[in-house]
Structure 1
Amino acid sequence: MLTAYYVHRLPADYETTRIHARARERGARWDDAQDLYFKAFLLREAGQYGASENSYASFYLWRGDAALRSFLLDGHYENVTKIFGRAPIQTQLAIDARRGTATTARFARLDEIDIPADANLHATLLQEIEQNRVEAGQRDVVARAISVDTLRWRITRLTLLDSVPETNEPNEPNPQSGASTLFQVVHLAKPLLHTL
């Protein structure tokens, strides 16, 4: 499994209702995509849920690299770049992904934490997988995915939730989760989510 994630920063005066309309229009096209566990259409609106700026993001959990290759070669990413420009795509190896019991994703919490150079890498990754299993069992979780960037040795945790997280202020550093960003989910395409 692989995750792919990119963010487009939007002007302060950008009409974010256009993102909602785009997600409604384009989201349905992803609802039956092959080899895609889910794609989250994400939005941050300045002044809401701790956001200081407007941004539009997409987070994918792919079954494998062939699906991500097709996404790039079949022109799907070009549909985004024509409007928002070409953003770097952070691609990582997913080490664990699980479906939760909640059904409607309204928020996504993205936590990124660097793995210290002197940490036991094997133990750290196993601990992340175990934590993912426990967290995915929380009642408000729709899905949870953990991935690792092996270039920067950074863990990314994505949690799709049906309500605003109660613990910690969004977008604030936290010793256990590192940098944390809260997004609104404007659409969740979930063709293979039921198989996790």
Structure 2
Amino acid sequence: MIAMQYGFTLPADYDMSIIDRRVRDEGPLLDGFPRLRFKAYLAARKQDDGFTSAENLYAPFYLWDEPEGIDAFLSSPGFATLTRDFGWPSVRTWQVWHAELGADLRAAKYASREIAPIAPYSNLAEIRDAAIAEARSRPGALATVTGFDPTAWKTVRLSLRPALPAPMPGAQLYTVGHVALP
């Protein structure tokens, strides 16, 4: 499996209802997309539903079964429309170490995402095992995804939740507008 995320930082005065409408109208279009395990439509506002983000963000997160799914999506008319409307994003990918998906991902209302550097010459097996154990210890998560990027030497941890999680240092919190499923 491969995790993927791109994001757009939007102006402080951006009308985030535009993002809400886009997710509501276009989110279900990715239901059943080949090789997609899930797509979480994530957004954060400078002042949001019980938490504060440093910026207005639109940053969907994907979990793919195979790399061909990423290619099919990035080559699709939907992605072309997105880039026409918001610009050409940098697309991050992570090799997935662990993914645990609950039965009702559509109940997710919030997400937390942490990206951390991997120090040179680290023991990757130890980091992997610790990251998986930590992900499994997150009570109340509907989904957890843990992975690493060997190009930038960074880890990612994503949790989807039905309720706002406790503040986590270094984590970006998002609201979940829709979860597209196979």
For 1:190, the equivalent position in structure 2 comes to 181
1:167 is displaced (CA, Å) by 4.5
Q: Deviations over 1:78-119 (max 9, x none)?
A: 121011011100011111100136651101100111122243
For 1:53, the equivalent position in structure 2 comes to 55
For 1:99, the equivalent position in structure 2 comes to 101
Root-mean-square deviation (CA, aligned residues, Å) is: 1.6
Report the 3-state secondary structure (helix = DSSP H, G, I; strand = E; otherwise coil) of the residue aligned with 2:59.
strand
Q: Deviations over 1:139-192 (max 9, x none)?
A: x21111011010121110000011111243xxxxx4xxxx3100111111122x
Report the 3-state secondary structure (helix = DSSP H, G, I; strand = E; otherwise coil) of the residue aligned with 1:151.
coil
Distance 1:28 1:47 in 2: 26
Distance 1:74 1:23 in 2: 17
Unaligned residue ranges in structure 2 (runs of 5+): none
Distance 2:2 2:81 in 1: 21
* Alignment partner of 1:112 is 2:112: no
Contact 1:30 1:189 in 2 (8 A): yes
Matches within 5 A, 1:25-174: 25-48=25-48, 49-100=51-102, 103=105, 104-135=107-138, 138=139, 140-168=140-168, 174=169
Contact 1:102 1:162 in 2 (8 A): no
Distance 2:24 2:173 in 1: 21
Report the 3-state secondary structure (helix = DSSP H, G, I; strand = E; otherwise coil) of the residue aligned with 1:96.
strand
Contact 1:101 1:141 in 2 (8 A): no
Distance 1:86 1:2 in 2: 21
1:122 is displaced (CA, Å) by 1.5
Distance 2:81 2:11 in 1: 20
Unaligned residue ranges in structure 1 (runs of 5+): 169-173, 192-196
Report the 3-state secondary structure (helix = DSSP H, G, I; strand = E; otherwise coil) of the residue aligned with 1:141.
coil
For 1:171, the equivalent position in structure 2 comes to none
Please tell me the residue identity of whatever aligns with 1:184: T
How many residues are matched?
A: 179
Contact 1:102 1:161 in 2 (8 A): no
TM norm structure 1:
0.85
Distance 2:102 2:114 in 1: 18
Distance 1:127 1:53 in 2: 30
1:52 is displaced (CA, Å) by 2.4
Report the 3-state secondary structure (helix = DSSP H, G, I; strand = E; otherwise coil) of the residue aligned with 1:93.
strand
Distance 2:54 2:178 in 1: 22
Q: CA separation of 1:122/1:66 partners in 2, compared to 1, >3 Å: closer, same or farther? A: same
Consecutive aligned runs of 4 or more in structure 1 exceeding 6 Å deviation:
none
